[in-house]
Amino acid sequence: MPDLRRFAINQITTRDWTLEQAVNGYARQGVAGIGVWMEYLDAAGIGQGARLIRDAGLFVPCLCTSAWVNIADKGGFAAALAENRRRLDAAAEIGAPCLVIVPGGLATGEKDLAAARSRVIGALEELLPHARQVGVKLGLEPLHPMYAADRSCLNNFAHCLDLCRSLGDSAGIVADTYHCWWDAGFMPGLREAGPENILTFHLCDWLVPTRDLYHDRGMIGDGVVDFAAYKALLDEIGYDGPFEIELFSKFDWWLRDGDETVAASVERCAPFVAERRKVPC
């Protein structure tokens, strides 16, 4: 049997399943955890969702995602902060150690990327006290630069790691192979971050060709990402945290039966999610 104790499926991978279906479907095939999305949690009800997850014995590596703060007017910015505090509360209730930060890019009509990034830093600084209060970390996820204008202006590993340092112990890195495999600073950055600053590690492959910039991530082994190299490095630095597969796949896996997608996820990810091999001194 594969060692799946550290393995979670991020529930967007089975997009058409409700939270209850995902919890039951993952547990049925021996998956140990579920990466929860806020939309599905709200649909189930936060308290009910927490009970479903707890009763199934699943761990929750993260709650996805923060509300965007790429809003220039003060009222909209304040509303985004309030929503993110609610999501931090929800993460605490379901036992998620981090809220994945996807802050948005440029505000409508804006062209000043530096201003957008400054606004994100300001928002994170304002959220820190609440994050500390509820015991949930802000999980900074560097997104591929193709997303800089709309989904996130946090786009390389070094930038996010520097920001984590400035924010302190209540922030950490959500590393994602799809978003970072191209970045020459990714592997050195993982080493520099150390296991204590990596909150969860997302697995998804880069397909050649990529047919859609938002919804064509590959199942592990179908693209060009060297997962074995990342697992070896993570073992070497002592990372003992979770691994999640996270697929946006409108041409393939979203069209399949959820049980088939879970089975393939288990089979493909098993070599890369086992307990770390101790490196001899």
List the chain pLDDT tens, one digit each, 281 residues: 899 999 999 999 999 999 999 999 999 999 999 999 999 999 999 999 999 999 999 999 999 999 999 887 768 899 999 999 999 999 999 999 999 999 999 988 899 999 999 999 999 999 999 999 999 999 999 999 999 999 999 999 999 999 999 999 999 999 999 999 999 999 999 999 999 999 999 999 999 999 999 999 999 999 999 999 999 999 999 999 999 999 999 999 999 999 999 999 999 999 999 998 765 54
- The CA-to-CA distance between both ends of the chain, in Å, stands at 29
Residue 279: predicted pLDDT:
54
Residue 278: predicted pLDDT:
66
Residue 1: predicted pLDDT:
81
Show the tokens assigned to 138.
């802000």
CA triple 104-110-116, angle to 5 deg: 45
* Structure-token match 């606004």, residue found: 119
At position 44, the amino acid (one-letter code) is A
Query: Which own/partner pairs from 158-162 qualify as long-range (CB within 8 Å, at least 24 positions apart)?
Result: 158/185, 158/189, 161/189, 161/192, 161/193, 161/197
Show the tokens assigned to 251.
């041409």
Show the tokens assigned to 106.
């440029």
Show the tokens assigned to 50.
């927490």
CA triple 50-54-57, angle to 5 deg: 150
* Structure-token match 């015991």, residue found: 135
Please state the length of the chain. Answer: 281
Q: Rg of the chain's alpha carbons, rounded to an integer? A: 18
Strand partners, 99: 63, 138
Cα 209 to chain centroid distance, Å, stands at: 24
CA triple 143-145-149, angle to 5 deg: 95
Instruction: Tell me the whole-structure pTM to 2 decimals.
Output: 0.96
Give the integer Cα–Cα distance in Å for 66 and 21: 23
Contacts of 251 (CB under 8 A, 6+ apart): 211, 212, 215, 216
Sequence ranges of the domains in the chain: 7-272
Q: Which CATH architecture has domain 7-272?
A: Alpha-Beta Barrel (3.20)
Whether the bond between 200 and the residue before it is cis, its omega within 30 degrees of 0, is no
Show the tokens assigned to 38.
């806020």
Residue 280: predicted pLDDT:
55
User: Which among 123, 121, 194 is positioned nearest to 159, based on CA atoms?
Assistant: 121
Residue 281: predicted pLDDT:
45
C-beta separation of 212 from 249 below 8 A: no
